[in-house]
Amino acid sequence: MTNQFLYSDTNKRYHTWNYHLQQHFGEKIFKVAIDGGFDCPNRDGTVARGGCTFCTVSGSGDFAQNRIDPLPVQLRKGIDMMHKKWPNVKSYIAYFQNFTNTHAPVDILRHRYEQVVNEEGVVGIMIATRPDCLPPETIEYLAELNKRYYIWVELGLQTIHEETSKVINRAHSYETYLRAVEQLRTHNIPVCTHLINGLPGENHDMMMESVHRVILDSDIQGIKIHLLHLMKNTKMVRDYYQGRLRLLEKDEYVELVCDQLEVIPPEIVIHRITGDAPRDTLIGPMWSLKKWEVLNAIDQELERRNTYQGIHNIRNKGEEHVVVRSGFQP
């Protein structure tokens, strides 16, 4: 079967993060996850306490470096670790991954970010945050950074459904997310939206609707699709043992991701279509530990269907829903 997908130079039928980076930089790049020492407004009482119910004590950054170390030291340790797999890579993206990495005054953000962006080999920065932690002065600073460096802002939306948001204690609205994307895109800052498949009470149609609405309602350049990992010592464990959460089966997840890819416009970069979790703290789904089997199963299902990302591009369904893209070149 012929792979008709344009944004690929391999057998992939979706717009991978690796392909995007190769096209942008002309070489292999890897991200280095570091802990910026930030907290979360959903934990410290700014908007709520307790955090999202799926979130671990590490702030969903189980593979980030130790925050005890200075940021340049964290970066170097992360690079050294990644070099064990890719010894010849010379360029890196500093990834502020866990907790909320804009939850601080701008002078603190500037101090922490610029400790790493000026390190040897660093070609860009990726900042994971919440849409309710982007006041005007922070947006202005990110716009300044965007003029000097390669940058992405990753927004933790997880779901468009307000009823699910209440269950997981997200503590911000979908409207807040939409405003944040609009403000970032005013300055041409690339946005990656984080969605989780398998949240409590959500079925296939609801998870598809999250993708549909995010694509139709907001001008984003990337999506990170994540499988819900049920982790020990999280509040969501109670939902699971009280029967309010059903973990997805592998075949179910693979079919869902392929359905989602088919409606996502082909130019949108797919930063992730599954995830990693530490074996010793994972309750389930245990099949997710075999990450490459999951990725291969998605490739195989797309090939079996003879389909690819964007074959049913929902932005082509009606002009009244089309969001005009504003200058981002994959």
Confidence at residue 65, expressed as pLDDT on a 0 to 100 scale: 63
Which structure tokens are listed for 21?
A: 């980076």
Beta bridge partners of 40: none
End-to-end CA distance of the chain: 26
Per-residue pLDDT tens digits for 121-132: 999 999 999 999
SS3 310: coil
Q: How far apart are CA 172 and CA 130, in angstroms?
A: 9
Confidence at residue 3, expressed as pLDDT on a 0 to 100 scale: 56
Side chain identity, residue 192: C
Name the residue with tokens 């993060």.
17
168 with 199: CB under 8 angstroms?
Answer: yes
- Quick one: DSSP state of residue 115? H
Q: Which of 62, 134, 71 is nearest to 102 (CA)?
A: 134
Per-residue pLDDT tens digits for 131-180: 999 999 999 999 999 999 999 999 999 999 999 999 998 989 999 999 99
User: What mean pLDDT is predicted for residues 261-289?
Assistant: 94
285 with 274: CB under 8 angstroms?
Answer: no
324 pLDDT band, cuts 50/70/90, is very low
64 pLDDT band, cuts 50/70/90, is low
Q: In the chain, what are the domains? A: 17-313 (3.20.20)
59 pLDDT band, cuts 50/70/90, is very low
- Global confidence as pTM: 0.91
330 pLDDT band, cuts 50/70/90, is very low
Q: How buried is 232 (Cβ within 10 angstroms: 0-12 exposed, 13-18 middle, 19+ buried)?
A: exposed
Confidence at residue 322, expressed as pLDDT on a 0 to 100 scale: 38
User: What mean pLDDT is predicted for residues 36-63?
Assistant: 78
Per-residue pLDDT tens digits for 193-212: 999 999 999 999 999 999 99
Which structure tokens are listed for 279?
A: 């074996």
Confidence at residue 191, expressed as pLDDT on a 0 to 100 scale: 98
44 versus 1: which is more confidently predicted?
44
Whole-number average pLDDT of the chain: 90
256 with 197: CB under 8 angstroms?
Answer: yes
Q: Which of 14, 104, 10 is nearest to 313 (CA)?
A: 14
